[in-house]
Amino acid sequence: MLENHRFKTVKEEGKIANLELALKENPTKSTIGIGHTRWATHGRPSKQNAHPHASSTVCVVHNGIIENYQELKTKLQKKGVKFLSQTDTEVVPHLIEYHYQKTGDIKKSLSSALEEIHGTLALAVIFKDREDVIAFAKKGSPLILGVGENENYIASDYYAVSAHTNKIIILEDGEFGIVTADSYEIFDSAGKKLKKKVKIMEAENSKISKDGFDHFMLKEIFEQPRVLEETIQAYVNIDNGSTHLPNFPFDLKKINKITIVACGTSYYAGMCAKYLIEEIADTEVEVDIASEFRYRAHPFRSDNLMVFISQSGETADTIAALKYAKSRGQKILSIVNAPHSSMAQLSDAVIRTIAGPEIGVASTKAYTAQIAVLSLFAIELGFLKGKVDKAEKLKLIAQIVEAGAKMNHFFEEENIKNIKKVARYLVKAQHMLYIGRGISQVTAFEAALKLRELSYIDAQGIAAGELKHGTIALIDKKMPVIVIAPSNNLFDKILSNAQEVKARGGKIIFISDKKGIAHFDKMADKKIEIPQLSGIIQEALLPVVSTQLLAYYVALFKGSDVDQPRNLAKSVTVE
Residues in touch with ligand F6R (CB under 6 A): 263-266, 310-312, 315, 318, 362-363, 449, 453, 571-572
Q: Give least dist CB 560 to ligand F6R, A.
A: 14
In single-letter form, the type of residue at position 266 comes to S
Q: Which is nearer to ligand F6R, 264 or 535 (CB)?
A: 264
- Of all residues in the shown chain, the one whose CB is closest to ligand F6R is 264
Q: How far is the CB of 367 from ligand F6R (least distance, A)?
A: 8
Give least dist CB 14 to ligand F6R, A: 21
Is residue 511 within 8 A of residue 526, CB to CB? The reply is no
121 CB-near residues (< 8 Å, 6+ apart)? 62, 63, 64, 66, 92, 137, 138, 139, 140, 141
Q: Phi and psi at residue 361, in whole multiples of 5°?
A: -65, -40
Query: Any alpha helices (H) in 124-247, and if so which ranges?
Result: 158-161, 216-222, 224-235
Distance CA 336, CA 221 (A): 19
Give the Cα separation of 217 and 231 in Å (integer): 20
Q: In angstroms, what is the minimal distance from the CB of 528 to ligand F6R?
A: 20
Helices (H), 389-485: 390-407, 413-426, 439-455
- Minimum CB distance to ligand F6R smaller for 266 or for 564: 266
Q: Partners of 436 in the beta sheet? A: 463, 484
CA distance 491 to 210: 39
**Least CB distance from residue 318 to ligand F6R, whole Å?**
5
**CB-based contacts of 292: which residues, under 8 Å, 6+ apart?**
none
Which CB sits closer to ligand F6R, 479 or 556?
556
Closest approach, Cβ 363 to ligand F6R, in A, equals 3
Cα distance between residue 271 and residue 471, in whole Å: 22
Report d(CA 491, CA 495) in Å as an integer. Answer: 6
What sign does the CA torsion over 518, 523, 526, 532 have?
negative
Q: Which amino acid is at 468?
A: K
Minimal distance, residue 504 CB to ligand F6R, in Å: 31
- To ligand F6R, the closest distance from the beta carbon of 216 in angstroms equals 13
Distance from C-alpha of 391 to C-alpha of 361, rounded to nearest angstrom: 40
Instruction: State which residue, 55 or 363, has the beta carbon closest to ligand F6R.
Output: 363
Q: Does an H or E element contain 135, and which?
A: strand 130-139
CB of 49 to ligand F6R, least distance (A): 23
CB-wise, 165 or 315, nearer to ligand F6R?
315
Among residues 449 and 536, whose Cβ is nearest to ligand F6R?
449
* Nearer Cβ to ligand F6R (264/461): 264
Nearer of residues 164 and 294 to ligand F6R, judged by Cβ: 294
Output 304 or 573, the one with its CB closest to ligand F6R.
Answer: 573
Say if strands 331-336 and 349-352 run parallel, antiparallel, or are unpaired. Answer: parallel
Alpha carbon 277 to chain centroid, angstroms: 23
Q: How far apart are CA 84 and CA 77, in angstroms?
A: 12
- Minimum separation from the CB atom of position 272 to ligand F6R (A): 13
Hey, CA dihedral for 190, 196, 202, 205, is it positive or negative? Answer: positive
Q: Which is nearer to ligand F6R, 142 or 264 (CB)?
A: 264
